[in-house]
Structure 1
Amino acid sequence: MDNRTNLDDYLAGLGIAGADESELPPPAPDAAPSAPPALEAAHEAPVVVLERFLRGLIARIDPELSVSVQETEDALEAEITGENAAKLAGRDGRTLGAIEVLAYTVLAKQEGRSELRVRVDIGGFRKRQADTLTKLAERLAVQVAKSGEVHEMQPMPAAERRVIHIALKEHPDVMSESVGEGASRRLIIKPRHG
């Protein structure tokens, strides 16, 4: 058995088509034209595609874990739960981030579009992280309001900046703003003037 076949089988099991069109067998002369399997799957609801992908992935990692997916007004949100789910998030959520990127990629490929947002949480990691960031934002807001000085944070991912922006959106004394470009984009908290 060659490795490519094994990889193609593995990817197909995760809901990712691995075969090139050139590798597909030619249609029978009397067969009606039909869409390739990957195109037929594109007609499935994004929620179904995401759930199937994540179930296939976690079944290979820890069959004791479970997945639930729901559609919100701005994204598809998936929750992976189970006794050992927290371990799957990885150090600083790195594995979680990779799973989220893969899930987004699978959906973009299936749906033929990339504007659909995907958020994955594993064992409540994102919720705990958001709570921690919200508390940090509140502490920094008090500090900035007292000192009157701008506080510049270290570069952080957009999702983390968003949590802080939301936490401070209605704050009467301070406001937040993202500055910088790319990986060095960071958030500043400054006194609200006016």
Structure 2
Amino acid sequence: MDNRTNLDDYLAGLGISEADEDEVTPPPPAPDASAEALPSEGLLNEDPKEVLERFLNALTSRMDDTLSVSVQQAEDALEAEITGENAAKLAGRDGRLLGAIEVIAYTVLAKQAGRSDLRVRIDVGGFRKRQADTLTKLAERLAIQVAKSGEPHELQPMPASERRVIHIALKEHPDVMSESVGEGASRRLIIRPRHG
């Protein structure tokens, strides 16, 4: 199986091609486009894990053929790990590239396997693990500060995945609680005293 062709098929199925990069709206598919570029009824029954694994292998082989991909099924998500000497570069600045890869992977999963109910979590070179550790330590420091001062602390807007880490870190904390406020990209966390 040619991974490069597969990626082109996925991107074509999403209405994306290398030629579309500068265009605002993608052109309609060419009349001679491969039938495999669009999902068919049979593909919707494909194993989501296999779909995600195939997509990520195709993507990483185009970027760096020394990278390897492993995908595990979790309770409500598929969790992928991309490893290799240069894997951490896929995180991009502040994890933005990794976030974009997750969005595309989720879209591919929804289109190819018909599974929009599964989350997609991808880690590259341990980036997400290090980020979660940093956020957990931040949550612990802020919890102490809020518990001592009795005053709530509002954090800067952050993605849902980062808010989730802090919510989990403080879920069982006896003195403080966390809540999300705001809408869209402005959604942020407030850590406040639990009693009072």
TM-score for both structures, normalised by structure 2: 0.83
Rounded to whole Å, the distance in 1 between the matches of 2:89 and 2:140 is 29
Structure 1 stretch 111-120 or stretch 145-154: which is displaced more? 111-120
Rounded to whole Å, the distance in 2 between the matches of 1:102 and 1:25 is 21
Q: Aligned residue for 1:11?
A: 8
Amino acid at match of 1:75: A
Q: Aligned residue for 2:174?
A: 172
Rounded to whole Å, the distance in 2 between the matches of 1:111 and 1:22 is 24
Residue by residue over 1:64-115, the C-alpha shift from the partner in whole angstroms, topping out at 9 and shown as x without a partner, is: 0000001000100000001111112111111101110110010111123422
Q: 2:62 aligns with which of 57, 60, 63?
A: 60
The unaligned stretches of length 5 or more in structure 1 are 1-6, 27-34
Q: Aligned residue for 1:84?
A: 86
How far 1:140 sits from its partner (Å)? 0.2
How far 1:42 sits from its partner (Å)? 2.5
Rounded to whole Å, the distance in 2 between the matches of 1:69 and 1:25 is 28
Structure 1 stretch 108-117 or stretch 78-87: which is displaced more? 108-117
Judging changes above 3 Å, is the alpha-carbon distance between structure 1 residues 25 and 161 closer, same or farther for their aligned structure 2 residues?
closer
Q: Aligned residue for 1:31?
A: none
Judging changes above 3 Å, is the alpha-carbon distance between structure 1 residues 93 and 25 closer, same or farther for their aligned structure 2 residues?
closer
SS of aligned partner of 1:38:
coil
| 1:181 equivalenced with 2:179 (yes/no) | no
Contact 1:179–1:188 (CA under 8 A) maintained in structure 2: yes
Q: 1:143 aligns with which of 133, 142, 145?
A: 145
Residue by residue over 1:131-186, the C-alpha shift from the partner in whole angstroms, topping out at 9 and shown as x without a partner, is: 00000000000000000000000011111000000000000000001011111111
Once the two structures are superposed, the pairs formed by residues 34-183 of structure 1 within 5 Å of their partners are 38-39=39-40, 40-183=42-185
Structure 1 stretch 109-118 or stretch 59-68: which is displaced more? 109-118
Rounded to whole Å, the distance in 1 between the matches of 2:38 and 2:105 is 19
Amino acid at match of 1:71: Q
SS of aligned partner of 1:68:
strand
Question: After TM superposition, what 4+ stretches of structure 1 lie above 2 angstroms from structure 2?
Answer: 7-10, 14-26, 35-38, 40-43
Contact 1:15–1:52 (CA under 8 A) maintained in structure 2: no
Amino acid at match of 1:38: P
Judging changes above 3 Å, is the alpha-carbon distance between structure 1 residues 21 and 141 closer, same or farther for their aligned structure 2 residues?
same
Rounded to whole Å, the distance in 1 between the matches of 2:155 and 2:38 is 48
Q: How many residues are paired up?
A: 179
Rounded to whole Å, the distance in 2 between the matches of 1:115 and 1:9 is 23
State the identity %.
72
Rounded to whole Å, the distance in 2 between the matches of 1:113 and 1:193 is 41
How large is the RMSD of aligned CA atoms in angstroms? 2.6
